[in-house]
Amino acid sequence: MYRVLVIPNGSGYQTGQTGCGHFFSLEETTDCISMKIVASLTDPRHARLASEAGADLIELRLDLVDGDRVEGIQACRNRTGLPVIATLRSVQEGGRYRGGADDWFRIIQTVIPHADYIDIERSFSAHADSIRTHDVPIIASCHTPEMPSLFELFALERELRVYGDIPKIVVTPRNIEDIIEMISFTHAAKKPVCTGIMGSAFQYARLLLPLFGSEFVYCHVGTPTAEGQYSVSEAKEVMRLFGGA
């Protein structure tokens, strides 16, 4: 099987230039589709539904959940046995947490022993070393209402990897060319990496990016935690259609 890959300038893989300034190469591949589906939840009672629908991981949005956060994490693990990502998303990056970095850390500290991954935004990265002492993998995340250039994307990936194990870069594309750039970046970036888009415009890109190397696709069960999310069941159907289920 062959696929056409979009490669950024300077990668060393170019075979021809398009009007968009990208290079394309033809690569033979026998890789299977590997799409890890994250069910992003606001209610731990939905964890079992997520597992039954085919989720591979659970993200509990601590900025959206009601009740005790530690009990919420424990409930997700007990009901599914799936790895749990603890996320306290700031208002600046699309969530509801309005506090500073030190208050963020005081909240996160309580759930570290019970979580399998901790999501850390750049503004909270000063506490990454303290979290790393617990041997919990870090998802270093950035959600931006802008569309960075390819050079900026690679610089951002390197910046996030300084304090995190899995860089997560979520952008806001303006047009088809931006989608192509995100596919280019996702394919060429060091792995693991997680990429995605914000908003409902170009929603389909959420399921395209994992086909080109994004580690996770974030989905919902019931109530979406972000505009434009697909359901876990929809993502599983895409995997089935592409032969990865």
Residues identified as active-site: 143, 168
Say if CB 227 and CB 238 are below 8 A apart: no
Helices and strands (H and E) in the chain: how many? 8, 10
Measure the CA–CA gap between 138 and 57, rounded to whole angstroms.
14
- C-alpha torsion 115→240→178→191, nearest 10: 50
Q: What is the 3-state secondary structure (H, E, C) of 4-19?
A: EEEECCCCCCCCCECC
Residue linked to tokens 């303006």: 174
36 beta partners: 216
Distances, alpha carbon 141 to alpha carbons 3, 42, 77, 194, in Å: 29, 19, 23, 9
Cβ neighbours of residue 72 under 8 Å, at least 6 residues apart? 44, 60, 62, 65
Residue linked to tokens 């994004």: 214
The single-letter DSSP state of residue 121 is E
